Amino acid sequence: MEKPREAKPDDLYFTVAFFGFNSSELAAKRFFHAVVGCFQQLDCPPDKIVVGRGEKDGRTVGFKRGAAKLLQKGFADIGYLCIQAMLPEWKFVASDFLCSADWSLRFNYSTICVNAGLLNNLDPMAVPMLRELVEALSPEYGIGYVRKFSMGPNFFAIGVHKGV
């Protein structure tokens, strides 16, 4: 299947969100490696990364440079991590992605959002990365759903978690 070139409002995204998770340095490192492996399995290598340390939010940089810096500095004080594989014709980093993964220590949530077309009719819950993430994060609970791109599939989980 050919990858989408731009986001369409009716595109479906499969999303899994975890809440109340293990916030250790090892969990952050395992999250990073599981997400990168999943994106590569889906033939969507990461393009962008945001690394926030402590209470600082961080900024979006190219994945190659940002990941090298993260691996060099380590995962000890990570407060926020976002990894994205962008659409070829992306305009907005917050929304124009094929795959996106967030890990927030401050708000105690993690989301994985994948364009459903990339799963090629696989059962999304059978994706090995999900097992790896559950093992790494040891979440108290999680939810999974499919949602239209126009409905903000990655932001929905945060709203549910916060009671919005």
Ranges of each domain in the chain: 14-162
Question: pLDDT per residue over 136-163, tens digit each?
Answer: 888 998 888 888 888 877 777 766 666 6
pLDDT at 155: 72
Report whether pLDDT(5) > 60: no
Report whether pLDDT(60) > 70: yes
Helix (H) or strand (E) holding 90: none
Question: pLDDT per residue over 30-55, tens digit each?
Answer: 999 989 988 888 888 999 999 998 76
AA letter at 106: R
In whole angstroms, give the CA distance from residue 91 to residue 13.
Answer: 18
125 or 61, greater pLDDT? 61
Rounded to 5°, angle at Cα 153 from 70 and 124: 80
In whole angstroms, give the CA distance from residue 139 to residue 137.
Answer: 5
pLDDT at 83: 95
Q: Report residue 61 as tokens.
A: 């940089």
Fold entry, domain 14-162? S-adenosylmethionine decarboxylase (3.60.90)
